[in-house]
Structure 1
Amino acid sequence: MSYLIDTSSLICLFNKYPEEVFGTLYSKFDNEIKSKNIKAPFQVLNELKRGDDTAYHWVKTYSKIFFISLNNKILQKAVEIIDKYPELTKNLGLTSTGNDPADPYLIGIAVLHKEESLDTPNIVKIITEEGNKKNHIPDIASKYGIDCINILDFFKEMKWKF
């Protein structure tokens, strides 16, 4: 199983589970990133950069292995998603620059994983703190058969104990 993580979950990780208290958690997270089991679209780094906080500086150290760079297939899939669900970006569309919101790219990457791995069901899940509100990541991802979980459910799924 692979996981794609949203900005909201990284912010939650650092706000609710500080490294100085949950050091073991960060070691486990570090191992999953180094094993390439958790990734994020590059736009997540740009969203975190706006906050310029601990989360941004922590994930930046993993930029070469953690972030998925934009390519034509990902851009095309993100554009398809926005054409169908423009509310995901509040009807602002995409500019294919670093300032785009991560959500359509996150879903697009998950959909591409699923399409490329038809023989392996549930190959990827999205970790996000967004609830099941209409036109948010879980709502739109579910329309493509992509499961979403929050960060705490991810810990439980991984059977991590602290």
Structure 2
Amino acid sequence: MKASFISSRNVALLVAAGLLVGTGTAVADETATAVVVTKPLNDYQVARAAYKTALETYIANRKSSQAQFKAAMDAYGVARKAHVAARKNIFDASKTAGALAKSAHDAAIAAATTDAAKKAANTSFKSALASARTARDSAIASLGAAPVAPAKPVLGQRPTPPTKPVKATKS
């Protein structure tokens, strides 16, 4: 008679083996952790750590300098636009005063019949233009100087990384 593979003895052995294998990993977990011995740092590792801190400081300084420069440029842009708009209003008022003086001059010349009346119209026109120029110049002077763009920040030199030590060649 041929023995079957699935017998009660084989099943018992398989169950026992499964239980032993399952508990083996749990027992391995409960072992004490080994103490890791660290080697002392060599010169290159010390220099590399110093380089990393210097690089982080450089990057932080660069970012803060760029943020300050961006804020200064934004403020400059607002001030520049306000200054340009104020100058435009001054020049528009000056052009309007000049146009009014010219239309008054043209009307006076058309109505004048004598040379004296024409000369008086020309004189009044020139004085009106001079007063418009004076008003424009005083308004520009009271406006002040145009805003000056901020200077770009000087970032300095990036830290140089340490050189790796060269391994001795085998001979």
Higher helix share: 2
- For the criterion TM > 0.5, the same-fold answer is no
- TM-score between the two structures when normalised by the length of structure 1: 0.21
Q: Higher relative contact order at CA 8 Å, sep ≥6: structure 1 or structure 2?
A: 2
The structure with the largest strand share of the pair is 1
Is the radius of gyration larger for structure 1 or structure 2? 2
TM-score (norm: length of structure 2): 0.21
